[in-house]
Each structure stands twice: as C-alpha cells, then as structure tokens.
Amino acid sequence: MTALTVVLCILGLTSMATASSRPHIVLILADDLAWGDVSYHKDESGAEIETPNIDALAEAGVKLENYYVQPTCTPTRSQLMTGRYQIHTGMMHGVIQPPQPLCLPLDEKLLPEYLQDYDYATHIVGKWHLGLYKPACRPTNRGFETHYGILNGAGEYYSHENSYYVVAEDETLTGKDFRYTNESNTDNDRIQEDNDGVYATELYVDRAKDIIGQYSDGAAATLPPLFLYMAFQTPHKPIEVPDEFVDIYDGSSMTGTRKRYAGMVSSLDNGVDEIVTALKDAGIYDDSVIIFSTDNGGAGKPSSNWPLRGAKHSLWEGGIRAVGFVTSPNHIPRCNVGTINTDLIHVSDWLPTIIEGVLGEGIDPPTDPTKTLDGYNMWDYFTKCKVARTIRSEILYNIDPYYLAGRIKDSDYDVGDELKEPADFSTDIHAALRMGDMKIYTGERGNMDREPPQEYVGVAADPDTLDSALEVLLFNITADPYELTDLSGSMTDTVDEMVERLSELWTSSKRAKAIFPQEELEADPERVGGDGYWGPWRNDDESLM
C-alpha cells in the first residue's frame, strides 16, 4: 500500500466517522390531527381519544405548547421545507390542487438538500403535496433519495385513488396516486398491484421500518446518518380505517364518524409506536432526534380542536396551533425531559433548528437578499436547562388577499393566470400576525366555531359574544388562548402598531407574487401516458406561465 493510499484511507475513515457521528433525524408530520385529539390534551379538550404512544414519546422530550403551523397542508409543508414564510415563496394562497401547473418554486433550497450537503441519507415516506406538474417538482428531484407514498394532498386509503372536479370544465379527473420512486425517477415508479386494498398507513409504516432496518446490527457505524421525513396521510379524510382500531372505542360514548375518526388517530398512534420500536431495534433510537408536528388544525367534525376557536382553513388558533414536541435521549438533558415549552415557535423554525442547532453548521447568507430565512434556530430551547427566552417575538401567520372561504375568487384572475394584487395592505385583507402576547386578525376569517367533541361532558361554553363583523380583531393569546375577548376597541395603539407591521411585511421587497394558476385538463391521469396514475404532464423546460 502506497503512502498516498494510506492517506486516502485515513481520510475516508475520518469522513465516515464524522458522518456517522451526526444524529439521525426523524421528522413525523401528522395530517389534519386536531389539537384536542391527542390524549395529553384531554384534560382541557374533554376528548376520549387515546394516543398512549404519542403521549409517551412527547413525555420523553419537550412538549411545545405555543407552537404554530399554517392553516392548510401545502403552506405548512412549504415553510417546513424552506424555513421561509409563504408570502416570500408565493405560496400564500391555498393548497396545490392535483391539476394545477404549480409547485414550490424550484429556486428554493429545501431541507433535504441542506442535509445532503452533510452526507445524510434522505427519505420521504407518505404525502408530498408540494407539486407534481413536471418532473423537477417531485421530491426525488428536490433532495430526497427516495419517495414512497402520494404526490397529491389526499387519496383513498385502500384503493389509493384520488379524484378532483375541475369546476371550470365540469369534468372529474381520477387516478391512482401511490408510488415508489428513487433518484432516477424510473425505478419501480408505480404502485405495486399487491398494494391495492392495503391500508395506506400500514404501507407507510412498513416502508419506514425497512429504511430504519438498514441501520441494524451495527450497520449504522458505516452508513450515512438518516433523515426520515415521515409524512403521514392520517387522519386526513376520507374517514377510512381498519376495524381493529375502531374497536378500541367500543366502550366509549363516541359513535359514527367520530368513532371511526378516533380509530384513524389510533392507527397513527400505532404507527408512531412501530417506528420508535424499529429505531430501538436498530440501536439508533438514543442517537435520534425525533420531531413531531401536525400540519394544521383539525378540519372540523368529526375532529375537535376544542377548546380552541376555529379549524383548518382559518387563522383562528384551532386552525394553526399545533401538536408538537421534540424527543432525543442523547441530546435533550434530564432537566428538560417531560417539560412544557411555551416559547413562541413556528414551523419555519425547523430548518435552521436542524441545520444550525442539531448539526451545528452555519447557513450561508443567500446571494439574493430576498431569499433570507424567516425561521430561527430553537435548539437551545430544548437542549439547555436555562436559556434566555428572546429568540422569536413575532409570527406572520399569513397575508392572503385572495382568501374567500378557502377558495380563490375567479374574478381575481388576470391574463396569463396572474393574480391581481393590491399594492398596499388594508384591513379588509385576510391576515393574522402575532407580536408577543398579542394577535391581530383582519379581513375574512372563515370558520370561527368553538365546538366540543361529541363525547364532551358538561357545559360546553358560555354564549359566544364575539362580533365577527368587525374588520379588525385583537386578542391577548397568552391570557385568552380561546379568542373570546376582542381588545381592538380598547387597545387602539396596539392595533395601529400591528397593522403597520402587516403593511411593512406586505410591501417588503422579500414578498413574492402569489402563484395560483388555473387547473389543466392535460393533467388527467388517463391522458398522461394512459396509465391512470397522477404524475407530471409538462416537461421540465416548460415555464409555469
């Protein structure tokens, strides 16, 4: 062996040791899981749904009780992957629909791409929902080595079909949506026949266990560290679940779809347990950082965000306050295990928290000043026993001038599918902002109901006296988390200050133009290759407009 070979071997070993010393990262995202429907919130929610495995995992780490996401699927995922507010990526309106020529802009660097810079193996299992209209949009072209799951936002759990009605054309498009894809985008890029009739959550968990199993029997010492993005579809509609999970609630007072929804939550809880067990069996649990989050609040009945106001699609607390926690035996000290963190934390914080905090690496400032991150590194909150609580003082929940009961206003389409945007912010625009304890809510607001779960016992609430006709509402969320008392009339200076801040954010050079193009019948799964699967229908060299 030559001296050069020896040096190269040493360098190779050193590189592998550095890579293998980094913690594994498991990011679990639940879909439409309501704040009140985990059992560690039941003293407040009155729900009877049991989530013992999620509870145990949360109790082994730090629970986040002032943690926020976005009110729908795509916006939360866009901020999770980029660390940037949706008004800075153009994703501020709605979710990506199956036949829209739209995806998270391709000039955004995503979390798995950062992690690949540090030699992580990157896998996504489950729901993508960040665009599919051309190959470049798909997860395996955006930093993930493999994807096993669905590209769209929903689908049948057993048949794996997804249908979408194109209103303008009065036509329904239907196709399969369940794939295994590797970086080549060709290998086994179709659902296997024996998946038909098998519950999607079961398939996702089995795939996750296969990935984790590769690290068993000491293999972790020679393999790159793992990043597993476990994007569950559960408990998003349709309400479908194996009877074994529904039967858990035979002794409860829940009936009908509420009981079946409870079964879906239990199937999620069981899946979390199987993943944790797989990590332990592989010997990598202790050196894993496990992050759990919901993508938005529950979508209304049969789920329950009680006692929070509102639901999915709204910027009320029930739409955006999330179930979240962080667990890591080797990285969270005993002084923080089992604690509740009430610091202001947002889904955009996970990217810098993982890269700067977990990995201890810097994030270089972008050459384009409009591409700076909006998230903050929160790692010290979880790993230090005493830390100054001053990292984040505000959260922009959203500014969306096109919001109308969760749907686009057709009159706002312009030539070339471009949306008309007001130059200046005004309080008739759908928006919400948190500054310290205070939250301002302007414009149309969506579902503002406060409804307890079916099984709730006792007096639900005093009559709701909130005046929903007011253009501006102001709440002290720390003192009034259920948004019962509007303070806009008595705290006019605070209203003025927060409206001014919304105006600054709207007119900032960082703001991107909203992207929400018209749907295209060319996306019809029967027309794309004739194979009946949802997938790209444009080429990579075709622009959005």
Which of 199, 204, 206 lies closest to 242 in space, CA to CA?
Answer: 199
Cα(first)–Cα(last) distance of the chain, in Å?
59
- Quick one: tokens of 322? 């999330």
User: In what helix (H) or strand (E) does residue 58 lie, and over which residues does it extend?
Assistant: helix 52-59
Question: Token pair of 101, please?
Answer: 């020529």
Question: Could you give phi then psi for residue 340, rounded to 5 degrees?
Answer: -110, 125
CA torsion angle 139 32 372 517 (round to 10): 70
Percentages (nearest 5) of helix, strand, coil residues in the chain: 30, 15, 50
Please list the residues that pair with 173 across neighbouring strands. 164
And the tokens for 378? Answer: 């929160």
* Cis bond upstream, residue 135 (ω within 30): no
The closest alpha carbon to 174, from 197, 147, 156, belongs to 156
17 in helix, strand or coil? helix
CA–CA gap between residue 225 and residue 355 (Å, rounded): 13
CA 485/CA 465 separation, integer angstroms: 8
Task: Please report which helix (H) or strand (E) contains residue 258, including its range.
Answer: helix 256-281
Compute φ and ψ for 143, nearest 5 degrees.
110, -10
Residue 261 is classified by DSSP as: H
With helix as H, strand as E and coil as C, how does 268-336 read?
HHHHHHHHHHHHHHCCCCCCEEEEEEECCCCCCCCCCCCCCCCCCCCCCHHHHECCEEEECCCCCCCCC
The contacts of residue 535 (CB under 8 Å, 6+ apart) are: 132, 151, 179, 525, 528, 529
Residues in the chain: 545
Partners of 339 in beta bridges: 62
CB atoms within 10 A of CB 50: 18
Q: For residues 451 and 30, what is the distance between their CA atoms, to the nearest angstrom?
A: 22
List residues with catalytic annotation. Answer: 73, 129
Alpha helices in 467-514 (DSSP H): 492-507
What is the phi/psi pair of residue 453, to 5°? -70, 160
**CB of 105 closer than 8 Å to CB of 142:** no
Kindly list the distances between the CA atom of residue 154 and the CA atoms of 85, 91, 177, 434, 533, in Å, as whole numbers in the listed order.
Answer: 23, 19, 9, 30, 14
